[in-house]
Amino acid sequence: MIPPFRLDQCCPSRSLLADLADKWSLMILYVLSHGDCRFNELKRRCEGISQKSLTQSLRRLERNGLVSRQVLDTSPVAVEYRITPMGKDVSTPLKALLSWAYAHSEEVERARAAFDQKTAAK
């Protein structure tokens, strides 16, 4: 368990959280949890990501041992990214989080509208 109520900088999960807790990393892991995927297909599936950001995120995920990179010697070259056992592991709570986001998006939308109206009123 995590020590309650507090997340110190020395807490070992902090640096991992910093690498994992961004939109693209979560999306990439989500996509890869459904199956191996090549670079450009991944780029299409994470709609809106730039090639640069995709490369960076993939390297970071690879460095953390969550994704592996396999170069196939075809011509032209093909590179396949796949989720590692550890990546598969983290994708379980991750999917739960995304499912929640998907299920509650309307409720959140209403909360946003209410907040914006209250804010604008002043």
Cβ distance 36 to 82 under 8 Å?
yes
Asked if residue 13 binds DNA (CB under 7 A), the reply is: no
Asked if residue 56 binds DNA (CB under 7 A), the reply is: yes
Side-chain half-sphere CA neighbours of 98 within 13 A: 18
Side-chain half-sphere CA neighbours of 119 within 13 A: 6
| Nearest Cα to Cα of residue 61 among 71, 72, 50, 69 | 69
Q: Pick from 58, 66, 67, 90: which binds DNA (CB under 7 A)?
A: 58
Task: List contacts with DNA (CB under 7 A).
Answer: 22, 38-41, 48-53, 55-56, 58-59, 69, 76-81
Residues forming the site for a second copy (CB under 8 A) = 1-2, 4-9, 11-13, 15-18, 20-23, 26-27, 30-31, 34-35, 45-48, 62-65, 86, 89-90, 92-102, 104-112, 114-116
